[in-house]
């Protein structure tokens, strides 16, 4: 079976780092490029984290390109209180020897999709600024992706505000552009990702991964608790959807992004009864199957 090629646009970030690990560990996936955006922490930190993870995993052949440092029109926000000042909690990785690509992230996204039409699964796990800018540069990319999946939004409540999930709130204008672009967005939102909790039992299984578990997976999965039972691994779920859609129950919907509300800016308004859907919204997760898949994939990583 041919591996699915993934271009991951991200803002590492605890769960972004765990998502990179999954894209590398699952042999049914081929991670072909990483682009970074300011989000969980600033762009300098998200890019440094991506570069360090690349070398830690021995993936020096994969380009890492830095993208937007700030949202399209509003000031940047941060989730450093969740991810730690530098983005990876208490994890300290060796300094990267190699620098980021000289090609900016937006150019890399557009050029990669143009070079392999219909072959690349584009996955975005941070604010959608880079994706909106890529659409502005070349609107035709909507027809070039094999699929487009985001971690962001919700159809109930947010986590950054009562109405908004962090990635969408960080750049609602970019998210609005992305959902209106004319492609089908897979919106892996909080209602789904909050089902993927690294409970005490799961963390015990992570600890069996040896050096990878002790140095990276466990500390990344336990630095912050979204839930009394453990930390949700939000971005991992978006990558998992590309590889294993059979683990999800999903519904078609039309999604619009609120950009002007005083209390609702960044809200994803999800209409499951819309006549013209623009999104696939996963609503339920096979939790046991998900964790079996993720941990089996991590166990294949050789350091």
Which residues form the catalytic set?
234
Whole-Å CA distances, 251 to 137, 148, 232, 276 = 31, 16, 22, 13
The β-bridge partners of 252 are: 280
Task: Quote the DSSP letter at residue 80.
Answer: H
CA 279 from chain center: how many Å? Answer: 17
Place of tokens 């970019």: 174
211-219, long-range: CB < 8 A, 24+ apart: 211/303, 212/21, 212/298, 212/301, 212/303, 213/298, 215/91, 216/17, 216/21, 216/56, 216/91, 217/18, 217/21, 217/298, 219/89, 219/90, 219/91
Measured CA to CA, the distance from residue 286 to residue 244 in angstroms comes to 11
Residue 219: strand, helix, or coil: helix
Residue 41 exposure: Cα atoms within 13 Å on the Cβ side: 23
């Amino acid at each position: 079976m041919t591996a699915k090629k993934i271009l991951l646009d991200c803002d590492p970030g605890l769960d972004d780092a765990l998502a990179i690990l999954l894209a590398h560990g699952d042999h049914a996936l081929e991670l072909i490029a990483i682009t970074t955006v300011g989000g969980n922490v600033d762009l300098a930190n998200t890019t440094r984290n991506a570069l360090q993870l690349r070398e830690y995993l021995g993936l020096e052949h994969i380009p890492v390109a830095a993208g937007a440092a700030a949202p399209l029109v509003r000031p940047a926000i941060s989730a450093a209180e969740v991810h730690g000042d530098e983005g990876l909690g208490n994890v300290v990785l060796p300094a990267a020897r190699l620098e980021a690509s000289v090609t900016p992230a937006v150019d890399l996204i557009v050029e990669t999709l143009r070079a392999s039409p219909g072959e690349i699964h584009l996955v975005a796990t941070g604010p959608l600024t880079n994706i909106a800018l890529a659409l502005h540069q070349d609107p035709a990319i909507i027809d070039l992706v094999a699929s487009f999946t985001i971690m962001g939004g919700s159809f109930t409540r947010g986590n950054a505000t009562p109405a908004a999930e962090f990635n969408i709130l960080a750049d609602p204008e970019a998210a609005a552009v992305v959902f209106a672009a004319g492609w089908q967005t897979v919106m892996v939102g909080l209602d789904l990702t909050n089902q993927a909790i690294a409970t005490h039992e799961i963390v015990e299984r992570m600890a069996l991964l040896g050096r990878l578990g002790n140095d990276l997976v466990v500390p990344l999965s336990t630095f912050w608790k979204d839930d009394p039972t453990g930390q949700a691994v939000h971005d991992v779920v978006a990558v998992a959807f590309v590889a294993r859609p059979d683990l999800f129950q999903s519904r078609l919907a039309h999604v619009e992004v609120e950009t002007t509300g005083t209390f609702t800016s960044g809200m994803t308004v999800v209409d499951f009864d819309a006549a013209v859907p623009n999104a696939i919204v996963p609503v339920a997760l096979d939790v046991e199957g998900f964790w079996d898949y993720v941990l089996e994939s991590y166990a294949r990583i050789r350091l």
